[in-house]
C-alpha cells in the first residue's frame, strides 16, 4: 500500500466515519484512480472496522497544522 497526497486527496470528502467497504464504494463512485481502490482493498479489516478519518488509514497524512501558512496574511 502506497499513499501520496494526490491519492489521499480523493478521500478527503468521503462520508466519514466509514467502513472499508463504504470507502471502496465511495472511491469507485467518485471516479478515484484505481490505485486508491487498490490501497483501500489492502487495508487489514477485522470485521467491519470503522475509520473515523483519513488519518486512520494513513497515519502520516499531513494536517493543516503541518503547513506553515499564516491565513491572517491573506
Helix (H, G, I), strand (E, B) or coil at 19: strand
Interval 14-26 mean pLDDT? 95
Residue 68 has a pLDDT of: 55
What pLDDT digit, counting tens, does each position of 36-51 carry?
999 999 998 777 789 9
Domain positions in the chain are 15-55
> In this structure, what C-alpha cell is assigned to residue 38?
487498490
What was the pLDDT predicted at 44?
86
Nine-digit cell at 18?
Answer: 466509514
Rounded to a whole number of angstroms, the CA Rg of the chain reads 14
pLDDT of residue 74: 56
Amino acid at each position: 500500500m502506497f499513499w501520496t497526497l494526490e491519492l489521499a486527496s480523493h478521500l478527503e470528502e468521503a462520508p466519514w466515519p466509514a467502513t472499508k467497504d463504504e470507502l471502496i464504494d465511495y472511491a469507485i463512485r467518485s471516479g478515484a484512480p484505481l490505485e486508491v481502490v487498490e490501497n483501500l482493498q489492502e487495508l487489514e479489516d477485522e470485521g467491519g472496522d470503522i475509520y473515523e478519518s483519513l488519518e486512520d488509514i494513513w497515519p502520516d497524512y499531513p494536517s493543516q497544522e503541518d503547513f506553515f501558512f499564516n491565513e491572517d496574511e491573506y
